[in-house]
Amino acid sequence: MSGRIRPYVGGCLALGHARTRIGRKAAGVLMLPIMLAGCSWIDAPESGLDAGRMAYEANEFSKARSILVRALQQDPSSTEAALLLARTKIAQGDGEGALATLAQVPVDGPSANEAKLLRAEAFLVNGDWRKARREVSGLNVQRVHYVHGLAAMQEGDTEAAEDAFAKGASMARPDPRLLAEYAFLRLGEGDLAEARQRCGSIPNRARQSSPMPMRWGLWAGFRRRRR
């Protein structure tokens, strides 16, 4: 073939001015499989989502955020990518960013309840415990107790926080973050034995992979209110 082929961004191949008997149109058709095979930047949304999830579970939130932003650019309709990106932003303490991402999730879709729970967590990151409580009103899932417990801590109500955490901890397979918050609360109350018990019930894998971004900031605010 007497035409010229030049390298393209990301290893892609682009057909130049092909001067052959088969013509430009036919040459383009023949070259298409080669062009696509060389495009290393064309990733399926699933692979981007998987990579983002792996980074998130490894607590590499900046990396996860970058990957998931690209995944959403490639597939703006991916609710799963949007939810995971919102979780990542919450883990980074970016409540406003999480709320902006969650605005892309359909309010009446199958992930509506998950979006509500994440919005509540984003409001907590922003320190708005009233909105957090309103967001989960009417939901009857375990994570509601996590939200109510954190909201009570922000409000400075230790009894309500302990009650919420105790309810969540008594349910099957409690959220590791709830157990950690519960342990932290008991530690602040001087109950070291109870704190150790709650920490001991957190699975080892969850201790390494479950981000608990709000604990320190919430507790610092709570301690200031008690003084």
Of 110, 126, 158, which one is at a domain's C-terminal end?
Answer: 110
What pLDDT tens digit does each residue of the chain (227 aa) get? Answer: 433 322 222 322 232 333 334 344 433 433 333 343 444 334 444 458 999 999 998 889 999 999 999 999 999 999 999 999 999 999 999 999 999 999 999 988 899 999 999 999 999 999 999 999 999 999 989 899 999 999 999 999 999 999 999 899 888 887 888 888 888 887 777 777 776 777 666 655 555 555 554 454 444 444 444 44
- CATH code at 173? 1.25.40
Please state whether the predicted TM-score (pTM) of the whole model is above 0.75: no
Residue 96 and residue 158 share a domain? no
For residue 177, the model assigns a pLDDT of 84
Secondary structure (DSSP) of the chain: --S-EEE-GGG-EEE----STTHHHHHHHHHHHHHHHT-TT---HHHHHHHHHHHHHTT-HHHHHHHHHHHHHH-TT-HHHHHHHHHHHHHTT-HHHHHHHHTTS-TTSTTHHHHHHHHHHHHHHTT-HHHHHHHTTT--SHHHHHHHHHHHHHHT-HHHHHHHHHHHHTSSS--HHHHHHHHHHHHHTT-HHHHHHHHHTS-HHHHHH---TTHHHHHHHHHHHH-
Residue 71 and residue 27 share a domain? no
Q: Is there a domain that residue 121 lies in?
A: no
| Tally of domains within the chain | 3
Residue 201 and residue 154 share a domain? yes
Q: Is there a domain that residue 212 lies in?
A: yes
Residue 224 and residue 205 share a domain? yes
For residue 44, the model assigns a pLDDT of 43
Residue 154 and residue 226 share a domain? yes
Residue 18 and residue 59 share a domain? no
Q: Is there a domain that residue 195 lies in?
A: yes
Residue 145 and residue 88 share a domain? no
- CATH code at 75? 1.25.40.10
Residue 49 and residue 31 share a domain? no
Q: Is there a domain that residue 126 lies in?
A: no
Of 110, 128, 160, which one is at a domain's C-terminal end?
Answer: 110
Residue 103 and residue 74 share a domain? yes
For residue 167, the model assigns a pLDDT of 92
Q: Is there a domain that residue 171 lies in?
A: yes
Distances (CA, A) of 187 to 22, 127, 163, 195, 204: 78, 22, 15, 5, 20
Q: Is there a domain that residue 123 lies in?
A: no
Q: Which domain holds residue 93?
A: 43-110
Q: Is there a domain that residue 151 lies in?
A: yes
For residue 202, the model assigns a pLDDT of 65
For residue 136, the model assigns a pLDDT of 96
For residue 206, the model assigns a pLDDT of 53
Q: Is there a domain that residue 12 lies in?
A: yes
